[in-house]
Amino acid sequence: MQKRILGKSGLEVSAIGLGCMGLSYGYGPATEKADAIKVIRSAFEQGVTFFDTAEAYAQGANEELLGEALEPFRDHVVIATKFGFEGGDVQKGVNSKPDNIRAVTEAALKRLRTDCIDLLYQHRVDPQVPMEDVAGAVKDLIQQGKIKHFGMSEAGVQSIRRAHAVQPVAALQSEYSLWWREPEKEILPLLEELGIGFVPFSPLGKGFLTGAIDASTGFDKSDFRNVVPRFSEENRRANQALVDVVKQIAASLNATPAQVALAWLLAQKPWIAPIPGTTKLHRLKENVGGAAIELTAGNLSDIDAQLANITVQGERYPAHLQARVAK
């Protein structure tokens, strides 16, 4: 597995990381603990050194899982987690008050079985707390040796600039994929300017870009995709055209659609490191294989040309969550 440096931070990670949320939260029932640990450790064995979690993923349970799974090789991996929701509960709204940042960090250190968090993200911008106060609190924790790097998630241009002026931001984590290219407008140029790495979450379109989901697919009742407009049956049928394009290109490269989607992200900038998640060992192996796929300039222009004629249908969040995407 090749390595990448996130911007100017010096933080080295595997080109493809592992998003661990789905092992505990969001996509149906939590994976059995032994099976989840097997996925995480198998990722490490295949060269993955970048693991992503958050307090809000099952209110700390995902951090506990990751802490146990990675404890044998803690010194050889980069662990990223996040603060920013009241009590670790997304439904209760955001909380980035400095005292909460400190409390969440202390709790995360215990759950992750570590004395230092490699990368701590603000999960979502809190409009009630000045960004300077947030960055200042994280800066203090870095000076105390409890955190190595500061990150932000789904933040907008102004928030990133304000935070970066107080404490350099090592990485931004936001959604970016072949079916959500909004970051290309303002975010990627800003990150290039400031020397900030980019960590795309949902790089496979919450599973849609794998080609394994179609209009007839049913989701578990606890799967949040049930309330995502982009995943309505009608929109899945309309968005199939995009997957068909990816499948065609994948076939020509003797690769899978997921591998092409990940290779496309890696080809955009050398400081991008996507974090696909999975609960299945065969999907993990497939995703890791995406790092070995090299798309030519011709492949990339072909993808752009074909996708230019396709408009993805449906919002990526339901209305009540869309408002949390910061400016």
Where is 190: in which H helix or E strand? helix 187-194
Residue 103 CB neighbours (<10 A): 13
Q: Using CA atoms in the order 7, 171, 323, 261, what is the torsion angle rounded to 10 degrees?
A: 70
- Would residue 27 show up in a list of annotated catalytic residues for this protein? no
Residue 1 identity (one-letter amino acid): M
| Pairing verdict, β 50-52 and 12-14 | unpaired
Q: Is 197 helix (H, G, I), strand (E, B) or coil?
A: strand
Helix (H, G, I), strand (E, B) or coil at 227: helix
Closest CA to 126 of 161, 100, 165, 164: 100
According to DSSP H, which parts of 85-186 are helical?
A: 98-111, 131-143, 157-166
Active-site entry in 25, 27, 57, 176: 57
Q: Rounded CA gap, 36 and 53, in Å?
A: 13
**Which tokens is 227 given?**
């309330």
Contacts 24+ apart (CB under 8 A), 245-253: 245/303, 245/306, 245/307, 245/310, 246/178, 246/209, 246/211, 246/303, 247/211, 249/299, 249/302, 249/303, 253/293, 253/295, 253/299
The Cα 128–Cα 111 span in angstroms is 28
Helix (H, G, I), strand (E, B) or coil at 158: helix
* Residues designated as active site: 57
